[in-house]
Amino acid sequence: MNYKKLIGALVAILLLAVAALAVHSSRRVAAERGPAQAAIVTTAPAAQVAAEGYVVPQRLATLSASAAGIVTQLHIAEGAWVEAGAALLTLENGGQAAALAQARAGLAQAEANLALLKAGSRPAEIARAEASVAAAQARLDRLSGGATAEQIASARQAVAVAQANLEWALAGPTPEQATAAEATVRQAAASLKQAQAKYDEVAWRSDIGRLPQALQLEQATIEYERALASHANLLRGATPAEIKVYEAQVGQAQAALAEVLAGAHPADIAAADADLRGAQAASALVQAPARPEELAAAAAQVAAARANVAQAQAAFDQTVLRAPFAGTIGGLHVERGEFLAPGAPAVRLGDTRAWVIETDDLSELEVVRLAAGEQVDVVVDALPGRTLRGEVQRIQPASRVKRGDVTYTVIIALDASDLPLRWGMTAAVSKR
């Protein structure tokens, strides 16, 4: 404790000498620069509390990435000013980008499926089903009661319906079907890209053919080719075989017309009745809206796909380290091509638009004579003769041991000035 008192006395004598020098210097500067400029020069009173500190930005942080990876890009340099949210560095993120693309493709697929359910059947499909019912009813009536002029007309209408079905088969896919097929292709392409990225990571190995990445790439390639083929088939329209089916239906309708004209057999009447019931059921199914549980299931798939997109986006965003606030790059602790572990210091950022003094050598005997909000004088060692005003902003509640002494850290906010302060300058603090 006697050693501390001796050191305190020496510091007080030194500060008194600095104060006397400041008085002399202030008078000389005031005479040379006039009253307006001399106003920034003050004299330091007798020191009751004295400490040393450093000039630091008002806000500073040592930033680290939340994901591990190789640094592929450095977007900043030491001393550069960056705005809040600016990208500082980017980690290797090929796998995360592929996963995000796959998640977005899955969302597009789920949304397309939900749109198909909400859209329901097209008017042409409903009309075709109703025409099938009418044709079956007419055939049954004709077979049951004998052919009439109206029944003959109905049979002929059935022929027209079958011909209309044939024309419908040649009309091509609907926009909703084309959208769903395109979404399937994009999803398959995203899966192939992700499988290719995983394969490329181990392609150098001699046993690559036996690794699961090779099998996954082959399966993804098959699925992609299958999606492309389905999409091409859809756009190409009905195949010759399908067209032949509709042509056969036209033939059947024409044969039914011939039956109307020729008379009915009991077995034919029973078959016609069964056809009518089947046509009625098909028409009801076509005209019925999507069931609530179907819509709920499709909506749940959309919600799950959106959650997958959000999760993939979050994983991708973790590969880019961004500035949490605007400031100056005070230091870079990583180089391009280096591996960066999660939580490892990467960038030191400070808001240099305002400065504070951070001192950690205030003794336990002096800290009791200081309180938050009190005014203090600050002299920066690099700028002798200039005294800055400051206000005690915060006193650390817990002490630390520094070179055998119990000390406290104090943060002092400086008043605005035009002095050329720089990060890390040393300063002396005294209470007025």
DSSP structure class, residue 333: -
pLDDT tens-place string over residues 118-154:
877 777 777 888 888 888 877 777 677 666 778 788 8
- Dist. CA 152–CA 164, nearest whole Å: 18
Confidence of residue 349 (pLDDT cuts 50, 70, 90): very high
Query: In 3D, which of 184, 42, 24 has the Cα closest to residue 112?
Result: 184
Q: How many CA atoms lie within 13 A of 52 on its CB side?
A: 10
pLDDT tens-place string over residues 239-273:
777 788 888 888 888 888 887 677 667 777 788 78
- CA angle 378/382/360 to nearest 5° reads 50
**pLDDT above 70 for 321:** yes
Order of all β-strands in the sheet with 339-340: 320-322, 87-91, 69-74, 339-340
Say if CB 44 and CB 20 are below 8 A apart. no
**pLDDT above 70 for 432:** no
Bridge partners of 414, per DSSP, are 390
- CA angle 317/108/190 to nearest 5° reads 60
> pTM above the 0.85 mark?
no
Query: In 3D, which of 401, 367, 381 has the Cα closest to residue 48?
Result: 367
Nearest 5°: phi and psi at 42?
-130, 165
SS3 for 373? coil
Element (H, E) at 137: helix 123-145
**pLDDT above 50 for 11:** no
**pLDDT above 90 for 279:** no
pLDDT tens-place string over residues 37-57:
323 334 444 446 888 999 999
User: What pLDDT score does 156 carry?
Assistant: 85
Ordered structural domains, the chain, with CATH: 2-64+346-431 (2.40.30.170), 95-317 (no CATH)
More confident call, 426 vs 286: 426
pLDDT tens-place string over residues 64-120:
999 999 999 999 999 999 999 999 999 999 999 999 999 999 999 999 998 888 877
- Dist. CA 332–CA 78, nearest whole Å: 7
**pLDDT above 50 for 12:** no
Confidence of residue 22 (pLDDT cuts 50, 70, 90): very low
